[in-house]
Amino acid sequence: MGIKRVALWVSRPYQKDEIFNRESVLNRDNFAASFRELQATIIGWGGSCHTQDMYINEGVVPDLVIFLDIPRNSVDDILGNWKSKVRKWVILQECEVILPRNFDLQRHNEFTKIFTWHDRLIDNSKYIKLNFSHEFKMPIVNLKKEKLVTLIAGNKRTNHELELYSKRIEAIRWFEKYHIDDFNLYGVGWDHYRFQNVFPLKVLNKIKPLTKLLAPKFPSYKGTVLEKRSVLAKYKYAICYENAKDIPGYITEKIFDCFFSGCVPVYWGANNISEHIPQECYISKNEFANYNELYEFMKHLDERAYLNYLLKAQEFLVSEKSKQFRSRCFADRILEEIKSVQ
C-alpha cells in the first residue's frame, strides 16, 4: 500500500501546521521554506501533509511520519497506537556536535528511511542525501560597504572535539584586540552569561539581570538581528564558521546567507566543501596561518579580485551544481522516495 498522508512530527511551537506558515514569527530568515515546499509538492501530487497534531485531532492515522532529528525517547513510545500503523522516516538536521543521538547507529534502526546531508552515510537505499536547503533569491548587490567584516551567530558552548564555537570566540577576540574599528559582532546570547551542565545552576539562566551582570564583555557587540541578509550586505566579509568542523557534507545556511547578501564568506566547516561549492566563491580560513594573515588579505584585496568572489558566488547560485541546495530539490527528493513505496 502506498503513501498518501504524510505527518511531519514537530515540537509544540510548530504544531497546528505553523511550520508551513510563511508569515509565522518562528520562520526567522525563512528557514522553513523547504518544509512549505514539501507540503505544496505533496499536495500537488495528490497527497496530504500536515503536522502530527492535525491528524491526531481529526482521528486520522497517517501513512508516514517524518521526524525532524531523532527524538530523545524511542519512536515507538512516542507514536503510541500509531507505531505499527505508520512508516517511520527521519530527516537528520543537527550534526553530532549539537545532537549526538542523531548519529547513534542503534537509534537508526527505529527508521526505515533516513535523509541526511552526511556524505559518508549515503547508500541511496536507507540513507538518502538531503542537504540543508533554501529558497533561492537574487543576491543583494550593495558595493558600498559600511565596514570590513562581521560575525553573526549565537553564543554557544560545548566540549566536543569538532566544535567551532570556541574558534568563533577566538576570531572575535582577535578583531577586538587588533582591529575593532573594522569588525562588528551580532547574535543572541553575547550579552548574557549562560549556566551550563549542572541542572540546579541552569535555573539561574531565567534570572536575566543576573546573567547580564555576569556576561563577559564583547566591545564589538551590536545586538541581535531580525533578518541576517540585510545586515550581511553592509559588510565586505563575514566570519562564516559552521558549528562543527571536518564533517563531510555539513554545509548549513551560513554560507548561503553570505552568497544571497553579496558578502564574501570566510568559511570553516565541512572538510569537503569544495566538492559541493566552488572554492572561488569563498575564502577558506584554513589557508591562513593566523588571523593577521587573513586580515591583511581581506584588507588589501584589490577591488577586481573582491568582485570576482561575488561574481563566482552568483554564477554558482544559478548553476546546476547549486540545485542540490534548493528547497525544490528537498521536496522532490522526499516525494521521489514516497512514490517508490508500494
Continuous segment of H or E residues that includes residue 337? helix 327-339
Residue 336, all three cell numbers: 521521489
Q: Are residues 118 and 256 in the same domain?
A: no
- The predicted-structure confidence for 191-245, as pLDDT tens digits, reads as follows 765 656 655 655 545 555 645 545 578 999 999 999 999 999 999 999 999 999 9
Domain count along the chain:
2
8 Å CB contact between 76 and 110: yes
Q: Are residues 119 and 187 in the same domain?
A: no
Q: Are residues 163 and 117 in the same domain?
A: no
Query: Beta partners for 238?
Result: 150, 265
Q: Are residues 176 and 298 in the same domain?
A: yes
Rounded Cα distance between 310 and 312, Å, is 6
Q: Is residue 202 part of a domain?
A: yes
Q: Are residues 332 and 317 in the same domain?
A: no
Q: Are residues 312 and 332 in the same domain?
A: no
Q: Is residue 141 part of a domain?
A: no
Q: Are residues 207 and 312 in the same domain?
A: yes
8 Å CB contact between 208 and 201: no
Q: Are residues 171 and 317 in the same domain?
A: yes
Query: Beta partners for 134?
Result: 326
Query: Beta partners for 89?
Result: 66, 113
Q: Is residue 171 part of a domain?
A: yes
Q: Which residues contact 324 (CB under 8 A, 6 or more apart)?
A: 129, 131, 276
Query: Beta partners for 240?
Result: 267
Q: Are residues 167 and 305 in the same domain?
A: yes
pLDDT tens, per residue, the chain with 342 residues:
689 999 999 999 999 999 999 999 999 999 999 999 999 999 999 999 999 999 999 999 999 999 999 999 999 999 999 999 999 999 999 999 999 999 999 999 999 999 999 999 999 999 999 999 999 988 888 889 999 999 999 999 899 999 999 999 999 999 999 999 999 999 998 976 565 665 565 554 555 564 554 557 899 999 999 999 999 999 999 999 999 999 999 999 999 999 999 999 999 999 999 999 999 999 999 999 999 999 999 999 999 999 999 999 999 999 999 999 999 999 999 999 999 996
> What is the per-residue pLDDT for 189?
85
Q: What pTM was computed for the model?
A: 0.93
8 Å CB contact between 42 and 48: yes
Q: Is residue 140 part of a domain?
A: no
Q: Is residue 142 part of a domain?
A: no
Give the domain extent around 22: 5-135+326-339
Q: Are residues 37 and 50 in the same domain?
A: yes
Q: Is residue 93 part of a domain?
A: yes
**In CATH, what number is assigned to the domain containing residue 75?**
3.40.50.2000
> What is the per-residue pLDDT for 204?
47
Q: Which residues contact 288 (CB under 8 A, 6 or more apart)?
A: 294, 297
Backbone CA torsion sign across 38, 41, 43, 45? negative
Q: Are residues 126 and 153 in the same domain?
A: no
Q: Are residues 253 and 302 in the same domain?
A: yes
Q: What is the identity of the amino acid at 136?
A: F
8 Å CB contact between 168 and 269: no
